Amino acid sequence: MNIASVRRPIVPPTPPRAPDDMSFLGRLAAIRQNVIATWGQRAYEEDVIKGRFFFRNSFILNRPDAIRHILLSNYENYTRTPAGFRMLRPVVGNGLLTSEGRSWTFQRRTLAPAFTPKATADLVPHMTAVLDETIAKLDARTGESLDLREIMQRMTLEIAGRTMFSFGMDRHGATLRNFVMEYGERLARPYFLDMLLPLSWPSPKDFERARFRTRWTEFVAMLIAERRAAGKKDGAPPRDLFDLMDEARDPVTGKGFSDAELVDEVATMILAGHETTAIALFWALYLLALDPETQEEVASETRDVHLDNMADINRQKFTRAVIDETMRLYPSAFLIARAAREKDNAAGLEIGKGDVILIAPWLLHRHEKLWDQPNAFIPKRFMSAEAPDRFAYLPFGAGPRVCIGAPFAQAESVLALARLIGAFRVELVDTEPVIPLGVVTTQPERSPMFRITRR
Ligand code: HEM
pLDDT of residue 318: 98
Strand partners, 349: 346
Sorted by sequence, the CB contacts under 8 Å of residue 164 that are 6+ apart come out as 240, 241, 242, 266, 269, 270
Ramachandran sector of residue 258 (left: φ over 0; alpha: ψ -120 to 50; beta: rest): beta
> 442 CB less than 6 Å from ligand 1?
no
CB atoms within 10 A of CB 369: 12
Amino acid at 185: E
* Nearest ligand 1 atom, CA 412: 27
Regions of the chain where pLDDT drops below 70: 1-6, 233-238
Sorted by sequence, the CB contacts under 8 Å of residue 443 that are 6+ apart come out as 279, 436, 437
> 333 CB less than 6 Å from ligand 1?
yes
Atom 19, ligand 1: which residue's CA is nearest? 403
Element (H, E) at 406: helix 406-423
Q: CA-to-CA distance for 243 and 144, rounded, in angstroms?
A: 40
> 326 CB less than 6 Å from ligand 1?
no
**Domains assigned to the chain:** 24-454 (1.10.630.10)
> 338 CB less than 6 Å from ligand 1?
no
Q: What sign results for the dihedral spanned by CA atoms 236, 242, 246, 248?
A: positive
Cα 117 to chain center, whole Å? 18
- How far, in Å, from the CA of 165 to the mean position of ligand 1? 20
CB atoms within 10 A of CB 106: 18
SS3 state of residue 58: strand
pLDDT of residue 60: 96
SS3 state of residue 216: helix
> 280 CB less than 6 Å from ligand 1?
yes
Q: CA-to-CA distance for 72 and 56, rounded, in angstroms?
A: 23
- How far, in Å, from the CA of 290 to the mean position of ligand 1? 28
Element (H, E) at 59: strand 56-61
Name the packing angle between helices 292-302 and 259-290 (round to 10°): 120
